[in-house]
Amino acid sequence: MTIYTYDSALLSDLYKDAYGFRPSGSYLQAWTYYTDEFKQEIWDRLLAEVKRAVEETEQYHADKQYQADKDDSHD
């Protein structure tokens, strides 16, 4: 038995976290016709995109902090 972790009620929020904007109405409409397996594939891709975006943001801030610390050490 396959266990699905997607949550249709959270799709719009997860999509926004992944891409910075909410999905279109047609995207949400299409979602209702997808199989559970395909919904899970989409959900997993969105989670991976959110993870990538978070890691990228963390790296950006770490680099920015490193540069600030480096600049402060030259004063």
Tokens representing 71?
């600049």
For the chain, give the percent of residues with pLDDT over 90: 80
pTM of the model: 0.81
* Mean local confidence (pLDDT), 33-54: 97
Please report whether residue 1 resides in a domain.
Answer: no
Range of the domain at 59: 8-73
Please report whether residue 38 resides in a domain.
Answer: yes
Please report whether residue 16 resides in a domain.
Answer: yes
Give φ, ψ of 14 to 5 degrees: -65, -40
Please report whether residue 3 resides in a domain.
Answer: no
Say what the pLDDT of residue 75 is: 64
Domain count, the chain: 1
Please report whether residue 39 resides in a domain.
Answer: yes
